[in-house]
Amino acid sequence: MTQSELNRAVAKITGESVSTISGMGFVPLMAVPYEREPKTVNWDEADATRNVWLQVRRRRAIAPVVV
């Protein structure tokens, strides 16, 4: 069964429009559930790709006091 066939079948049974049903995200059931990998960010890898220039601040030398 294709996605459009599923949408039409659900729309026919519920009385809703096909566009409303397609927006609800119905999907065919599978024998083995499909679990997605969690969406994570490797911040070390992301930071390594950024081109950030850190300017080193120079400290002012204190002038010696002459008495």
Question: 33-42 long-range CB contacts below 8 Å, 24 or more apart?
Answer: none
pLDDT of amino acid 45: 87
pLDDT of amino acid 52: 67
- Has this prediction a pTM greater than 0.85? no
pLDDT of amino acid 49: 80
Specify the length of the chain in residues: 67
Helix (H, G, I), strand (E, B) or coil at 19: helix
**What tokens appear for 9 in the block?**
């079948």
User: How does pLDDT run along the chain (67 residues), one tens digit per residue?
Assistant: 888 999 999 999 999 999 999 899 888 877 777 777 888 999 888 888 877 667 777 777 777 777 6
